Amino acid sequence: MTQTPAPAPADGQREPAWLTQEAYDRLKAELDHLTGPARQEIAQRIEAAREEGDLKENGGYHAAKEEQGKQEGRIRQLTALLRDARVGEAPQDSGRVQPGMVVVAEVAGREMRFLFGSREVAEGADMDVYSPTSPLGEAISGLSAGDETTYTAPNGRSIPVKVVSARPFSG
């Protein structure tokens, strides 16, 4: 059975990420650390580097500012992810491709097994992760075992996909 995936919402909003309670707690702890002790530490390093003098040639200052920028980017990413996340048990075993499912699919004739959802959930799991907003993710979202579709790869090629199975991720 060939199906066309549902179009993305017109308002540009994305489906919220599905997270296990463990993943949510781990990410919340990381966010708390980054917005608390880590932020203070980087501010102290920047201040100490400023006191060394000429900022134009101060490698320590520039490195600390770059690290601060990366840290603030991660804080924004975690804040948005945790704000919008659906937390709880894995989705129902409906066989339908949705966030939180381990999908087996034939992609261009090659069988692949991956988590459909957020890489944050799969930390420590030995499998690839495909986001629902990736080209492959958008193509297979909502499909069931036996459904076929295609997606356009970044190089412009049309790639055939057949969903073999979709089962809840158990961690």
Please report, for the domain that includes residue 78, its CATH number: 1.10.287.180
95 and 164 fall within a common domain: yes
Query: Mean pLDDT for the chain?
Result: 83
Tell me, yes or no, whether 109 and 155 share the same domain.
yes
User: What is the CA 74 to chain-centroid distance, rounded?
Assistant: 12
Domain interval for residue 119? 90-168
Q: Check whether 32 has a pLDDT greater than 50.
A: yes
What is the C-alpha separation between 103 and 87, in angstroms, rounded? 20
Query: At a CB cut-off of 8 Å and minimum separation 6, what does 141 contact?
Result: 5, 6, 15, 97, 98, 116, 132
User: 58-67, 73-82, 155-164: which has the highest mean pLDDT?
Assistant: 155-164
Digit-coded pLDDT (tens) for 33-59: 999 999 999 999 989 888 887 777 788
Of the two residues 109 and 119, the one the predictor is more confident about is: 109
Measured between alpha carbons, how far is 132 from 20 in angstroms, rounded to an integer?
A: 17
Task: Choose the final residue of a domain: 39, 70, 86.
Answer: 86
In-domain check, residue 10: no
